[in-house]
Every structure is written in C-alpha cells, then in structure tokens.
Amino acid sequence: MIRSGGFAAIAAALLVATPAAAQQADQKVLKGEAAFGDWHADRPGTRRLIGAQDMPPADPAQSASNGAGVAERPESAKPDLPPGFSAELIASGIVNPRVVRVAPNGDLFVANSHADQIRVYRLAEDSAKPIEKAIFAKGLSYPYGIAFYPPGDKPQWVYVANSDSIVRFPYRDGDLKASGKPETIVAEIPSGGHTTRDIAFSPDGKTLYLSVGSASNVGEDMEEPDDGLDAWVNSKPLGAAWGSEDGRADVLAFDPDGKNPRTVATGLRNCTGMTVQPATGALWCVVNERDELGDNVPFEFATAVKDGGFYGWPWYYIGNHEDPRHQGERPDLAGKATVPDVLMQAHSAPMNIAFYDGNNFPADYQGDAFVTMHGSWNRGARTGYKVVRLKFRDGKPTGEYEDFMTGLVISNDAVWGRPVGIAIAKDGSLIVTEDGNGTIWRVTHEDGRS
C-alpha cells in the first residue's frame, strides 16, 4: 500500500474542479475518439457518447499492464460530486466490500467477499451514521450477489451467490443475523476464473437470474468437444462455449427453488452486475469485456439482456468485430452478435448498476441508471475509478453517460477508491461501496426532489 503524508494536499488539489470547468463539461458531449481520454478529463457532468462505429482496430501490441497502486485515503478526501450533492462516510476499513443491496426496511446488506461474510448496516434516519451493524452470515465462499425473495415488502429469504453456489437464509423483516443455516439452492456453479456471481429476481418473482463470468480472458483453452463442434452447436444455445467455459460467460435462469435451469443469454464475458429496470421489468447487465487488444478495444458496456441473445464472446465483440485471436473459427456466428445498448470506455471495469427511483435526487435523475467503474489495468492511460450516470428517456437509454462521482484518483500511479457496489436507499440516497480502502458512502442532494 502506498502511503505519503503529501497525498492529502495532492488529493485536495485534484479533487476540486472549477465552476467554469464543470459548466463547460455539462454543455459538451465527448463523442468518438474524443471520449477515449483518461482520468484527467473526469469530473462531474462530463458526458460521453460512444457508438459501435467508433471502435478502433484491434492492436494487441498496444496492450499495457498498468494496474493502479492503492494509496491510503487522505483523511480529508471525499468523492467529487455535482453541485448540490454531498457524500458522507458510512464505514471504512472493511476487507473487500462489494455488492450492496437494500432490504425493504432500509437495512444495507453488503457482501464482504474476501471475509466470506454478509454485513448489515442500519442507519439513523437521514444520516450516514450506523445505529446498528452486524454480521448477517459468515462461512460463505466469496459471496457477491444478494437478493431478497419474494419481491415486495415482506421477503422470507435472503439469497446469496457464492462463487460456486447459490444459498438462501430464512429472513424476517429487520433480522440482523440469519436465523437458520443456509439452504443450497443451486450447487456446482463453475468456479475459478471470474468469481463475481450476481443474482436478481424477475418482478413477478418466478425467475432467479444468475450471471456466470468466463474462466479466461478469451477462451484460450476451449478444445473442440469430443462429439464434434457441429453436434455441440446444434444442441446448445446460440454462441454457447464449451470445455472449461461450458455454462460460463452466460446469464442463466432458475425457478426460485433452483430447479428448471436454462440459459437466457450467451457471450457475456463477465456480467459483474445485474438489476431489473423498474420502468420496464427488463434485466440489465454491466459487462467487463476482454483484454489485450489495445487501449481502446473493446468497449465495456451496459445492456438490457435479450432472451436468447448472443453478445459475441469469445469470437466477436461489440457486434460484428471479430477477435483476431479467433479469426475464422466461427463464421456461422458472423453478424449474429447483439450490439449492447450503452458503450463505455474500454477497460473501465463496470461492476454494478442501479436504476434511480428514489425521492431525494432532482427529478431529472428519475429513471436514469448509475454504474460503478472499478478502474483499468490493461490501459496505458488510466480510466474508470468513478461512478457514472447512464441517461434514459422514456425508459430507453440514450447511449450517453456522464461522470457523477469522481476524484478517487490521486495521480498517474495511485488511487484511493475503486467503486464496486451501488444501490438506492429507502430514503432516496445513493449508497456506494469501494474496495480500495474498504469504504461505504451515502450520497444525498441538499434540496431533495426538485
């Protein structure tokens, strides 16, 4: 861990954007190559619009290894937010806080993945101060996704996605500790490789969705099935992978009791975060795309997940762009990969998504989505390490996204924050976790709904 007494002063200088700069950012949308900047261009209000036509050619020789050093958060450092917004610290020093989900009574359930625990925080009214906190469950296996069932005000179960299974705990409104042992609902989920398993229920509660990331970057070890490729292709969903990737890079679905498994969509390299859009009931994913094709290839994305959809991995990306490492292997899939709804800077590492339906932020935030970006390692110029806002109109994405929470990068070599979890609290505030310094934040607007 990088530590220096001078970081506080450096961070203070970097966290402040002049009003003139912020106003200019609000008025301009960066498009195409102009949107491929780095953290120096990030500030609340900066908007980007990236299209599939903006995809540069792949250039594996350009691939960089540039992971961020995590510095101790300067004592006075807070996230940078748009005018009228403020952030308060809920907790710090947590080992690897990841997904955060809000119980119907307002309690915050946080996946403390490296500690194999689920934590609970109950906040004082209109405050970031916890009045109660507890370990809801422990002895898990790298827990990540959390969901309450059935949907509504009186769930009876808390579902948790481990790296290798889905379990559920009995739950009654206000429980701070699980009252019973976990019941395994889905066993033997492929483990290793990407371990972030997220879960969500359909609005009617009849379907449990599960995201399973790939075991590899781009299916390097997929050997042809023993019964031949043609037999495999004819017996599996469009774009399904095989071997060590069988059942991976997919969104799967089950009945709430774990029965009746089925594949919803394929070719999603690592859908690290899922949610259901309140306005439409559509399932949305944010996806970490593949690495080692260059600084700006391929774009990361957020998308509504189409039933039966194929999103390209490992053979294609962002529509009909063929991965040069798999050139000519699957001509039958050419032109069949779905172009995602919202494209974002390559290697930003989007982690989670939440649609705003609260009553604290200004009215024009209603129906928009927030996405956490963990930050790049495979890019020469660092990007990500922030929370962005996806713009929607009448329930449909415009394709634009704008910086909402920035200021977590200290220098070209160090960051203090790596956002992961995001949720809308019962009081309309925004809850954000980051696992660089292990903090949880509550973001509010000073005037409430305008």
Q: pLDDT, tens digit, for every residue of 100-132? A: 999 999 999 999 999 999 999 999 999 999 999
Is 223 within a domain? yes
Is 2 within a domain? no
Is 151 within a domain? yes
- Decide if 420 contacts 375 (C-beta within 8 A): no
- Decide if 118 contacts 137 (C-beta within 8 A): yes
Is 428 within a domain? yes
Estimate the share of the chain in helix, then strand, then coil, as percent rounded to the nearest 5: 10, 35, 55
Q: List C-alpha distances in Å: 89 to 76, 79, 208.
A: 11, 10, 33
Structure tokens at 159: 């579902």
What distance in Å separates the CA atoms of residue 16 and residue 182, rounded to the nearest whole number?
A: 47
For residue 39, which of 432, 421, 369, 375 has the smallest C-alpha distance? 375
Is 450 within a domain? no
What distance in Å separates the CA atoms of residue 280 and residue 155, rounded to the nearest whole number?
A: 22
Does the pLDDT of residue 360 top 70, yes or no?
yes
Is 416 within a domain? yes
Domain CATH for 188: 2.120.10.30
Total domains in the fold of the chain:
1
For residue 441, which of 142, 97, 72 has the smallest C-alpha distance? 97
Is 162 within a domain? yes
Query: What does the radius of gyration of the chain's CA atoms come to, in whole angstroms?
Result: 21
What distance in Å separates the CA atoms of residue 319 and residue 334, rounded to the nearest whole number?
A: 9
The pLDDT of residue 75 = 87
Question: Within a 10 A sphere around the Cβ of 53, how many other Cβ atoms?
Answer: 8
For residue 385, which of 375, 376, 395 has the smallest C-alpha distance? 375
Averaged pLDDT, 141-147: 98
Alpha helix segments (H runs only) across 263-302 = none
Q: In what order do the strands lie in the sheet with 386-393?
A: 29-31, 47-49, 396-405, 386-393, 369-373, 350-355
The pLDDT of residue 16 = 38
Give 15 or 177, the one with higher predicted confidence. Answer: 177
Domain extent for 151: 7-445
Does the pLDDT of residue 18 top 70, yes or no?
no
Is 348 within a domain? yes
The pLDDT of residue 3 = 39
Quote the pTM value. 0.94
The pLDDT of residue 449 = 57
Q: What is the pLDDT of residues 31-81, one digit of tens each?
A: 999 999 999 999 999 999 999 999 999 999 999 999 999 999 998 899 999
Alpha helix segments (H runs only) across 143-288 = 229-235
Averaged pLDDT, 352-359: 98
